[in-house]
A = this chain, B = another copy of it.
Amino acid sequence: MAEKSVYNFRVEPQQVDFTLRATITSMIEAVLNTAGIDAHGKGFGVDALNADNHSWVLSRMAVELDRLPAQYAPYAVATWISDYGRVLSTRNFTLADAEGRIFGRAVTQWAMIDLAKRTAVDLSWVGRAHSEAIVDAPSPADKPRKIREVTPMRMWEHRVVYSDIDFNRHVNTLRYIEMMLDMLPVEKLTCERPMRLDAHFLHETRFGQTLRIGCEERGETDLFEVKDDGGVAAVRACIEWK
């Protein structure tokens, strides 16, 4: 049985907004980059999988941020895999400040896809091959919640350009997060309220497509849906402001 892995970072100037605190996006970026660093270091990163024409794809994500650290504040991201299901593996995170106080939690669920067939791979063999990588600790927050229906009150269009796409030629996760957050008033993004984001990545979008991002305000919750130019839902997400 493995231990949680801990990676140390510092809030760099490029991660803060005019409040001089880290942006929500930069903390989600830290979480996702840590997933990549940890998987690579343990031999089951995207690079190792690509040799077999496989890749990890983020399917669902939940991120809770109680507060956003200030510029130059050190922080530590702990990460661990708690289980491999047949289709999804669960990778968890906590974010802690220099005093060890946890200010953020994340639960991510990843599928492995066959890049040639574009289908999900049965993960049972990964669970067996890498069982020593599983940590016997529960997820630090509720697993990502389903978002069934979004009725947009505001819409925005975005044509997918080169700087939006990742090594898989798909729009990268952080760009979706930015597109959705950019629909909200700046005051909301800088209000220092604890928040929880749930996101489902349903369908890939590609270079040249025109996406439609819709936003619905429902009390203390903002819901989002990104559709491709065929009207297919690519991402649904929800932010709950506490």
The answer to whether A127 has its CB under 8 Å from any CB of chain B is: no
Contact A165 B17, beta carbon cutoff 8 Å: yes
Closest residue of chain B to A178, judged by CB? B163
Choose among B18, B33, B166 the residue that contacts A169 (Cβ–Cβ < 8 A).
Answer: B18
Query: In the bound complex, do residue B162 and residue A40 qualify as a contact, i.e. CB atoms below 8 Å apart?
Result: no
Query: Is A189 in contact with chain B by the CB < 8 A criterion?
Result: yes
Q: In chain A between 146 and 183, which residues have their CB closer than 8 angstroms to a CB of chain B? A: 161-163, 165-169, 172, 174, 178, 181-182
A side interface size, CB within 8 A: 37
Give Cα A99 to B5, complex, Å. Answer: 31
Flag A59-101 by CB within 8 Å of B: 1 or 0 each: 0000000000001100000000000000000000000000000
Report the Cα distance A47→B73, complex, angstroms. 12
**Chain B residues with CB below 8 A from A12, complex form:** 33, 36-37
Verify if A46 is at the interface (C-beta below 8 Å from B). yes
Counting chain B CB atoms within 10 Å of each CB, the highest count among A14, A20, A37 belongs to A14
Residues of the B chain whose Cβ atoms lie less than 8 Å from the Cβ of A40: 13, 72
